[in-house]
Amino acid sequence: MTGMHDTHHEPSVPALEQIYGTKVASAAAKRRAMRLDVTSQGRRPGKPSYTVLILAIIVFVFPLYYAVSIASQNSPSNQYGVRALIPGTALLSNIGRAFNAIDFVQALTGTFFVSTLVSISTVLFSTLAGYSFAKLRFRGRNFLLTFVIATMTIPQQLSVVPLYIMANKAGLYGSLWAVIIPGLVSAFGVFWMTQYIGDALPYELIEAARVDGCSMIRTFWSVALPAARPAASMLFLFTFIGQWTNYFWPMLILGSNKNSMLTVAAAALKGAYFTDYTMVMAGVILTTFPLILLFFFAGRQLVSGIMAGAVKG
Amino acid sequence: MSHDHETTPDTAPRPNRWHTVLGRLEWKASPYLYVAPFFLLFIIVGLFPLLYTMYVATRQYNTLTGDGGLAVCGSTCDTTQSSWMGNFLWVFHQQAFYVALRNSVSIFLLSSIPQIILALLLAWILNANLKAKTFWRMGVLLPYVVAPSAAGIIFSQIFSDKMGAINVLLQQIGLNPIMWHGSAIWSHIAIATIVNFRWTGYNTLILLAAMQAVPQDVIEAAVVDGAGKWRTFSSVTLPMLRPTLIFVIITSTIGGLQIFDEPQLFHNSASAGGGVNNQYLTVSLYLYKLGFVSVTPGQPNMGRAAAVAWVLFLIIVLIAVLNYIITQRLASGGRRRNDKQTLRRIAQRDAEERARAQRSGYNARMSATHEQEA
Amino acid sequence: MNTRSMRIIASVAAIATLASLGACGSSNNSGGSAGGKTVIKIQTFNNFGYGKPSDTRPGADLWAQYEKLHPNVKVEETVASGSDDARSAFNTAISSGSNAYDIYAADIAWMPSILAMPDKFMDLKDSLKSNDWLSWKTKGATTADGKVIGAGNDIGPTAMCYRSDLFAKAGLPTDRAEVAKMLGGDSASWDTYFKVGKQYAEKTGLPWYDAMGGIWGTMKTQIEEAYVKKDGSIIATDQQIKSKYDELTATSAMSAHLNQWSDDWNADFKSDKGFATIMCPAWLINNIKGNSGASFKGWDVADVTPGGGSNQGGSWLVVPKTSKVSGEAAKLVAWLTAPKQQIATFKAASNYPSSPTAMKDPAVADKTEPFLNNAPTGKIFADRAEAVKAVPFTGAQYYDIDSKLGDALGRVDVTKEQSPEQSWKQFVADVKALS
């Protein structure tokens, strides 16, 4: 950060200090800080900041509002345009219709089942492998870890063709297992847990457990797992949301068994003779609502999960 | 990772404490046992499909009739010879493939550039000493829980050609409606908007975290030196965000080039999307249409789709590498070459930043997989 | 806060997973017996009108009837949301032989592939003995060696639907007999249709038809060998199609430039500035009604098809050999496609019967449609079915080529970014690339 004062028209504070002494310099520093809204707690936000934020949030919420508003229209129609900016009163009855049309209970259970199972499995296997990579020394460790990192960037789309062929050969077409099995492990998860456990779990704790005569699995269970819990919860949350919002693969492999996952069911809500958007949007709401609910409870965790990596650096 | 801990469990065995051979064996075998479930499953659902794609890509593979030997490019390349390159050659002869590639790149640029600029602005604002910090942060993250497919459905109503909310408003103020589906560039903008809706807030938080890691005293020093708001941001904050930005850009490349849900549901019509002139056919949509929509007996629909998958993969790797090189070059171009000590300090700071970014990169990458998970 | 809410989430997740474990085994295993009953699984799409009526899918409630007749049988119908979805499920099941349904509804567009793999399907000839079909309908599912692998369900005889309110405003006749006469009656040609359209469009500034794709949908069915010759050679880019393509693309000024089946197309059915005419196969009436709203007044149908009779769409029922209850399935297929049931689905869902006996039945022949200004749809579609002369030969690549031609028309009509010549050039390249 050198060289700033020779391009700027104002003399720098150190320069002022040299010329006019400490008092003038500190007064100048204060004045400038005031002008730039900087306090020792950080920049002081002004009205423009709040205005931009409010605008941003309005933009982010508007599409959801529009969906709710269309879903609440009183007369079914295939298109609304701006009329639907003003909500109607039929929200509940439209949701009820969508509820029946997509067999919501089945789709919700199915989606929940897939997301939960995939998340549990990802977290479990990632934590195990992450612990091993981060804290244990073994032959081939570096090679295997490099392998994990290298495979992280491989797009899963690359594999839809063989996965499709394999799932068919296994007789899993149309079954939720065809969605679950490919998601059971994640190279990311392993990388993430390796990073976290490497930082958060001191060797001393493992040593101590070992000195106490704990078996390895016991050490993992009672020392590593508790230490990894914050990262594991994050991984769970993000994997869960990732599966819940997944569309491409379930759409491909579930076939006409559309009622088994919400995203696919909602996208298939178009009618046989005309598309009633009150119902389609109601379906979208039904798909999204459970996650919004989750967001209200775990939004803080999501925020800190996204920020965690960088902050800890 | 913790190089300062030289004593590892295995280097200091204490036989007197370990009563059984079994116990020792457990400690020896455990590292492998713990990584084994991951690798076993990964080989089945990750590695094997990858190689199998390569195999299918060289075959005359049809959904209905199965594997029909080595691929034949056919009259497209004026040959009846079968060769392992048949499907690849066929794909490279398709105009639609290049159009799809163009669209994917265009949509990716239209989504990632504004997204990063907006995210930087929002992160900069959020980085101030705001009231109700958590509220604002959650607020910008809200769209993240909306599935891309759901967002696609909602925005298809906003971007409808005749009756869509935007066009009706445009017409009411006397302007011409926009051909959201008919025009290539407008359809890209519409699709990019759907992507931006979901990911801007997410990237804002990643950048916010990186900004918070910029030490307050460095900023204060800049202020004291007489730098203005913009100057402080561009000369102090922005350079320190570089590693994080690299990760955000690379991951949005991986996600952006694979975009499927948004264009498919934006399409808003019967049959698979892309538009009559492939205006918004992305590479993934092309793969889908080739492999899963037109299944004519005798044609290697799966083989061709697999070939597209591999080409897409190679392009993504290439762009990610290019991205990395360019950002590195740009970043080092403006740096002053000082004495060895400064260089060492810079290198050290870089290493720290990289480590930090790798961690924050995790989330960004997660975001990429979520988009591509399939 | 942090760990506590995480713990709550975790325990909720755990409980729900355990709870949902039991609920997830509901995949489509092929039929068999459940509780002593034979279960027959059938996949349909859009609306075949078999099931219980609902507000989006009218139906004749045939399953309840059949189960009453056969107390040991239980029918489970899966309705795919569209024929594309249904087809990919069908393809997969047929190729892998796993998770197949016992009966599939097959769209006309699938028949070339089905006929190319006759070994995978049951020969239904014997089970269908007592049913009757129009001869070309039976031919559509008969293999070269005489096996009948599909039972005809409905057909799509095509008439012309029109907006009498818009016709009145433009000073055209509104009476359906006069409208038919205006277009040339039995010898109605595309030429006359486009001439009237030109006048209409010039006078009102409004579109005459919905989309070139829609007109083409009718035009192509009037050619016996459109894209592929019976010997397998491809003639899609020859003069025959080119001249029709030129005739159609020259009428751009009277098109509404819509993408068929898009939301904008749907919305235009009831618009004051909407298109005035549309080629309507019998099954399209449901879409017109749905898109305009049942209370909308203005749509009518004339007993005329420019260019001669046309059959668009229609479906069959097939039984894959993998079905474990193929015998029962064949019985059900025979029952569903018998005249009586065809009449029932026509009454409920306007799917026009492919059985001559059913067509002659008063319930079909005398049917009037209140939505279309009480038009005698039973009689009109019977006439239209009779007028069908050509049954297009649909070789293996027919539908691939057709979708490319649809794209070509779209580039001229919908996005208007290419001239007809440019678009044709691309079509020629596309066809070449197909093989």
Rounded mean pLDDT, B151-161? 89
B126 contacts in chain A (CB < 8 Å): 53
Compute φ and ψ for B305, nearest 5 degrees: -60, -40
- Per-residue model confidence (pLDDT) at position C335: 96
Q: Give the pLDDT confidence of B123-150 residue by residue, as tens digits.
A: 989 988 888 888 999 999 999 999 999 9
**pLDDT tier for residue B363 given thresholds of 50, 70 and 90:** very low
Rounded mean pLDDT, B199-219? 86
Whether the per-residue pLDDT at B371 is higher than 50: the answer is no
C91 contacts in chain B (CB < 8 Å): 63-64, 295
Contact C435/B at CB under 8 A: yes
- Residue C89: Cβ-neighbour burial (10 angstroms; 0-12, 13-18, 19+): buried
Rounded mean pLDDT, B220-238? 79
8 Å CB contact of A256 and C85: yes
Q: Which of A111-115, A218-222, B11-15, B24-28 has the lowest mean pLDDT?
A: B11-15
Q: Is residue C2 part of a domain?
A: no
**HEC readout, chain C:** CHHHHHHHHHHHHHHHHHHHHHHHCCCCCCCEEECCEEEEEEEEECCCCCCCCCCCCCCCCHHHHHHHHCCCEEEEEEEECCHHHHHHHHHHHHHHCCCCCCEEEEEHHHHHHHHHCHHHECCCCCCCCCCCCCHHHHHCCECCCCCECCEEEEEEEEEEEEEHHHHHHCCCCCCHHHHHHHCCHHHCCHHHHHHHHHHHHHHHCCCCECCHHHHHHHHHHHCCCCCECCCCCECCCCHHHHHHHHHHHCCHHHECCCCCCCHHHHHHCCCCCCCCEEEEECCHHHHHHHHHCCCCCCEEEECCCCCCCCEEEEEEEECECCCCCHHHHHHHHHHHCCHHHHHHHHHHHCCEECCHHHHHCHHHHCCCEHHHCCECHHHHHHHHHHHCCCCCCCCCCHHHHHHHHHHHHHHHHCCCCCCHHHHHHHHHHHHHHHC
8 Å CB contact of B302 and A161: yes
- Which domains does chain A possess? 1-35 (no CATH), 47-91 (no CATH), 98-312 (1.10.3720.10)
Interface test with A, best of C56, C96, C283, C289 (most A CBs within 10 A): C56
Compute φ and ψ for A162, nearest 5 degrees: -65, -35
- Per-residue model confidence (pLDDT) at position A88: 84
- Per-residue model confidence (pLDDT) at position B99: 93
8 Å CB contact of B64 and C88: no
- Per-residue model confidence (pLDDT) at position A311: 32
Q: How many CB atoms lie within 10 A of CB B54?
A: 16
Q: Which residues have CB under 8 Å from B163's CB, separation 6+?
A: A79, A80, A81, C263, C264, C267
Q: Say whether both C219 and C79 belong to one domain.
A: no
Cα B350 from chain centroid (whole Å):
24
Whether the per-residue pLDDT at B271 is higher than 70: the answer is no
Q: Which of C84, C116, C267 lies nearest to residue B293, judging by beta carbons?
A: C84
Q: Give the pLDDT confidence of A240-273 residue by residue, as tens digits.
A: 999 999 999 998 888 766 668 999 888 877 655 6
8 Å CB contact of C403 and B294: yes
Alpha-carbon distance of C382 to C388, in angstroms, equals 10
Rounded mean pLDDT, A203-226? 82
- Per-residue model confidence (pLDDT) at position B270: 61
**Which DSSP string corresponds to B88-123?**
HHHHHT-HHHHHHHHHHHHHHHHHHHHHHHHHHHHH
- Per-residue model confidence (pLDDT) at position A203: 85
Whether the per-residue pLDDT at B366 is higher than 80: the answer is no
Beta-bridge partners for C41: C76
**pLDDT tier for residue C32 given thresholds of 50, 70 and 90:** low
Interface test with C, best of A75, A78, A83 (most C CBs within 10 A): A78
Whether the per-residue pLDDT at A313 is higher than 60: the answer is no
Whether the per-residue pLDDT at C359 is higher than 50: the answer is yes
Nearest Cα of chain B lies from the Cα of C410 at a distance, in angstroms, of 5
**What residue in C sits closest to B278 (Cα-Cα)?**
C407
Whether the per-residue pLDDT at C178 is higher than 90: the answer is yes
Residue A90: helix, strand or coil by DSSP?
coil
Whether the per-residue pLDDT at C24 is higher than 50: the answer is no
- Per-residue model confidence (pLDDT) at position A209: 81
Q: Which of B267-281, C40-54, C63-77, C338-352 has the lowest mean pLDDT?
A: B267-281
**pLDDT tier for residue C94 given thresholds of 50, 70 and 90:** confident
Q: Give the pLDDT confidence of A61-71 residue by residue, as tens digits.
A: 999 999 999 89
Alpha-carbon distance of B336 to B334, in angstroms, equals 6
**pLDDT tier for residue C179 given thresholds of 50, 70 and 90:** very high
Q: Which two structure tokens, joined as six digits, stand for A61? A: 């919420």
**pLDDT tier for residue C13 given thresholds of 50, 70 and 90:** very low
Q: Give the pLDDT confidence of A99-155 residue by residue, as tens digits.
A: 887 788 889 999 999 999 999 999 999 999 999 999 888 888 889 988 888 777 677
Interface test with C, best of B267, B276, B286, B302 (most C CBs within 10 A): B276
In order of A193, A237, C4, C262, the CA distances from A230 in angstroms are: 10, 11, 11, 47
Q: Give the pLDDT confidence of B81-110 residue by residue, as tens digits.
A: 888 889 999 999 888 899 999 999 999 999
Nearest Cα of chain A lies from the Cα of B342 at a distance, in angstroms, of 12
ipTM of the complex: 0.82
**pLDDT tier for residue C8 given thresholds of 50, 70 and 90:** low
Contact C91/B at CB under 8 A: yes
Whether the per-residue pLDDT at A2 is higher than 50: the answer is no
Nearest Cα of chain C lies from the Cα of B63 at a distance, in angstroms, of 6
Q: Say whether both C246 and C329 belong to one domain.
A: no
Q: Give the pLDDT confidence of C377-408 residue by residue, as tens digits.
A: 999 999 999 999 878 888 778 888 998 899 89
Residues 195-214 of A with CB under 8 A from B: 195, 198-199, 203, 206-207, 210-211, 213
B270 contacts in chain C (CB < 8 Å): 82, 84, 260-261
Q: Which of C117, C417, C432 lies nearest to residue B75, judging by beta carbons?
A: C432
Q: Is residue C323 part of a domain?
A: yes
Higher-confidence residue: C92 or C73?
A: C73
Q: Say whether both C57 and C192 belong to one domain.
A: no
Task: Parse chain B into domains and list their residue ranges.
Answer: 94-293+335-372
8 Å CB contact of B358 and A213: no
**pLDDT tier for residue A14 given thresholds of 50, 70 and 90:** low
Alpha-carbon distance of A41 to B27, in angstroms, equals 49
**pLDDT tier for residue C26 given thresholds of 50, 70 and 90:** very low
In order of B199, C65, C339, C354, C379, the CA distances from C346 in angstroms are: 49, 16, 10, 10, 13
Q: Which of A120, A175, A270 lies nearest to residue C27, judging by beta carbons?
A: A175
A301 contacts in chain C (CB < 8 Å): 2, 5-6
pTM for this model (two decimals): 0.81
Nearest Cα of chain A lies from the Cα of B294 at a distance, in angstroms, of 14
- The candidate with the shortest Cα–Cα distance to B26, out of A201, A131, A219, A125, is A219
Rounded mean pLDDT, B283-296? 86
Q: Give the pLDDT confidence of A44-82 residue by residue, as tens digits.
A: 677 888 999 999 999 999 999 999 998 998 876 666 666
- Residue C362: Cβ-neighbour burial (10 angstroms; 0-12, 13-18, 19+): exposed
What CATH number has the domain bearing residue C417?
3.40.190.10
8 Å CB contact of C10 and A274: no
Q: Say whether both C302 and C171 belong to one domain.
A: yes
C16 contacts in chain A (CB < 8 Å): 112, 116
**pLDDT tier for residue B333 given thresholds of 50, 70 and 90:** very low
- Per-residue model confidence (pLDDT) at position B8: 45
**pLDDT tier for residue A37 given thresholds of 50, 70 and 90:** low
Contact B367/C at CB under 8 A: no
Whether the per-residue pLDDT at B201 is higher than 50: the answer is yes
Residues 329-388 of C with CB under 8 A from B: none
Contact B183/C at CB under 8 A: yes
Alpha-carbon distance of B42 to B47, in angstroms, equals 6
Q: Give the pLDDT confidence of C285-304 residue by residue, as tens digits.
A: 988 988 888 889 999 999 99
Whether the per-residue pLDDT at C231 is higher than 50: the answer is yes
Contact A118, A182 (CB under 8 A): no
Q: Is residue C24 part of a domain?
A: no
Alpha-carbon distance of C329 to C7, in angstroms, equals 52
Q: Say whether both C118 and C210 belong to one domain.
A: no
Sign of the alpha-carbon dihedral angle for C55, C58, C59, C60: positive
- The candidate with the shortest Cα–Cα distance to A237, out of C58, C121, C8, B5, is C8
**pLDDT tier for residue B372 given thresholds of 50, 70 and 90:** very low
Q: Which of B264-278, C188-202, C248-262 has the lowest mean pLDDT?
A: B264-278
8 Å CB contact of A300 and C1: yes
Q: Which chains touch B (3 or more CB pairs under 8 A)?
A: A, C
Q: Which of A90-104, A280-294, C195-209, C297-311 has the lowest mean pLDDT?
A: A90-104
Domain hosting C403: range is 156-312+387-434
Whether the per-residue pLDDT at A98 is higher than 60: the answer is yes
Q: Which residues have CB under 8 Å from C165's CB, separation 6+?
A: C297, C298
- H helix intervals, chain B: 21-42, 48-57, 86-92, 95-126, 133-141, 148-158, 165-172, 184-212, 216-224, 229-232, 238-256, 261-267, 283-288, 301-333, 340-372
- Per-residue model confidence (pLDDT) at position A304: 85
- Per-residue model confidence (pLDDT) at position A15: 67
**What residue in A sits closest to B236 (Cα-Cα)?**
A1
Q: Which two structure tokens, joined as six digits, stand for C42? A: 């059938």
8 Å CB contact of B38 and A41: no
What architecture does CATH give domain B94-293+335-372? Orthogonal Bundle (1.10)
8 Å CB contact of B181 and C426: no
Interface test with C, best of B160, B162, B171, B180 (most C CBs within 10 A): B162
Higher-confidence residue: C333 or B332?
A: C333
Contact B167/C at CB under 8 A: no
**pLDDT tier for residue A225 given thresholds of 50, 70 and 90:** confident
Q: Say whether both C197 and C293 belong to one domain.
A: yes
- Per-residue model confidence (pLDDT) at position C90: 86
- The candidate with the shortest Cα–Cα distance to A49, out of B199, B202, B121, B132, is B121
B8 contacts in chain A (CB < 8 Å): 136-137, 203
Q: Is residue C27 part of a domain?
A: no
Q: What is the mean pLDDT of chain A?
A: 82
Contact C415/B at CB under 8 A: yes
Q: Give the pLDDT confidence of C115-159 residue by residue, as tens digits.
A: 888 888 999 999 998 899 988 899 889 998 899 999 999 999 999
8 Å CB contact of A129 and B291: no
Number of domains in chain C: 2
**pLDDT tier for residue C96 given thresholds of 50, 70 and 90:** confident
Q: Say whether both C241 and C344 belong to one domain.
A: no
- Per-residue model confidence (pLDDT) at position A139: 87
